[in-house]
Chain A
Amino acid sequence: MTGNAEVKVHIQDLSKAFHTNGHEIRVLEHIDLDVREGELVCILGPSGCGKSTLLNIVGGFLPASSGDVAIDGLPVRRPDPRRIFVFQERGVFPWLTVEGNIGFGISGLPATERAARIAHYVRLVGLEGFENAYPQELSGGMKQRVEVARALAVNPDVLYLDEPFGALDSITRLVMRSELLRIWQTERKTILFVTHDIEESCQLADRIVVLSARPGSIRRVVEVDLPHPRDLSSPRYLALRDSILEEIGLAHRI
């Protein structure tokens, strides 16, 4: 569905190494990746493979050791409100209400417009009735919704999600995935989604970028041409999942 769209995020020959106590730890090596406008790309890899580091570099929070990241043709040098990073639900500000959090990035708007925007995103993520609740009073899944709404409220082009559902229980996680797909289909954002969960990447992604263990490099990029909503018991879905399991080198049985 996004095959002909323009390249949004362009990553070229990107490498990253950290230096600690005189040792060099190579984290990422020669990453080349283009993400198209409106595409949902999952970056999949084992723990410690550098996938979060990659997302932080693309987000402008960390400098690359070598190589380039460009968005809309312009090099990324620092974080930018047009591209919002969504952490696990711990990134929600505990001193603000749900409304205060969702309106955090749009404090420059006129009050009525801001209120309307907040109300819109409260509805979109299904938090009506909780506008004045504090994060402490919410469940993990609800906090995650607040964070996604806070990101969407500034109307960014790109969302970076770093294992956003990792801390949720498995049922809430499934619900949140379908919520994310619903929101993505409504809002048409470009999404880079980092995960270590094979099922999650198969359920969400247009493309899955499989990273190797550290130093992380791209092993394979899998195009997923299954339409949404995806049938999790269909042979094509299962074949896709198994091929990635195989790619990562895991057995089919436990």
Chain B
Amino acid sequence: MTDGNRKSEIGNRDEGAPPLPVGPRLVESILLPVGTAAVLIAFWHAAVRLSHTDVFPSPLSVLRGVGELARKGVLARYIADSLLRVGAGYSLALVLGIPLGIALGWYSTAARAVNPVIQLLRPISPLAWIPVAIVLFGVTNVAAIFLIFLASFFTIVVAAMNGVRNVPGMYLAAGRNFGLSVPALFSRVIFPAALPRVLTGLRVALGVAWLVVVAAEMIAVNSGLGYLVIDSRNAGKRYDLVIAAMLLIGLIGLVLNTLVRQVERLRAVRWGFNAP
């Protein structure tokens, strides 16, 4: 990114803060976390060796486990299946949650009616919904997707609602002053003004949706990384595969989060993320 240089040319806000040279930044953002991970893995390895455990796998046997999954051809399929389930449930939550949240943010009477119900349902763990999901959808893939939907839906609704509620009155007044109709006011002022908060909600919701993949895949389905955790434990106590699946879930979660963070760096929304 070259915006550090651009900024110091324009305006005088950042005159005291020259952009960091690339070298130290690279060290901080890549080498430091990699170093931390290396230390933890070394510690894990040493702990397994010194305790002479024959249940808990060493880092190396976990790595071999991943290789075994890849050779059997299930690794890519499980990852794809989990991503598809989360993708389906999350997309549904997004498509329904954003319009609902925007409507609730705009119509305060509707919000007063609906918000208590949302706040009541929101703290219920998706785990508690498992029996309900099975009653509603049977022991099927749909039940799993429903759980993921539930896990992300309320977060998205609340973020969109608060985003719209917090649009400064000045922006609305300016939009009205320029003669915007109500639909135009929504598309040209309210939506872009609320977008940073909505994006934050989407990022948090994606994290939660991915978090719930294990619980969702406990029911019904016979593929996916969550299923792999349960199945490896039940079928032969393969703890190397349990840990492998856990780490893969973590790794993919990290990648998803990083991808969504890239959206937050777009110039049209960046103002909402590093406000002074």
Contact = CB atoms under 8 A, between A and B. Distances in A.
Given A93-B192, A95-B192, A136-B270, A79 B177 contact: yes
Contacts of B11: 133, 137-139, 142
A80 B180 CA distance: 10
A130 B10 contact: yes
> Interface residues of A: mostly helix, strand, loop or mixed?
loop
A59 B176 CA distance: 11
A76 interface: no
Interface in B137-174: 168, 170-171, 173-174
Given A91-B171, A95-B269, A105 B10 contact: no
A206 to B, nearest CB: 24
A95 B193 contact: yes
Contacts of A80: 177, 179
Contact of B271 (A91, A130, A134): A134
A134 B178 contact: no
Interface stretch (A15-23, A81-89, A192-200, A239-247): A81-89
Nearest to B271: A94
Contacts of B270: 134, 136
Q: In the complex, which range does the number of interface residues on chain A fall in?
A: 20 to 34
Q: In the complex, which range does the number of interface residues on chain B fall in?
A: 20 to 34
Interface in B193-234: 193, 195
Contacts of B12: 139
A95 B271 contact: yes
A85 B173 contact: yes
B178 A104 contact: yes
A248 interface: no
A59 B174 CA distance: 11
Given A95-B271, A137-B7, A137-B11, A90 B168 contact: yes
A136 B177 CA distance: 23
B174 A138 contact: no
A115 B173 CA distance: 25
Interface of B: 6-7, 10-13, 168, 170-171, 173-174, 176-179, 188-189, 192-193, 195, 267-272
Given A87-B170, A91-B171, A138-B11, 13 more contacts: A79-B177, A80-B179, A81-B178, A83-B177, A93-B174, A95-B271, A105-B179, A133-B10, A136-B271, A137-B6, A137-B7, A137-B10, A154-B178
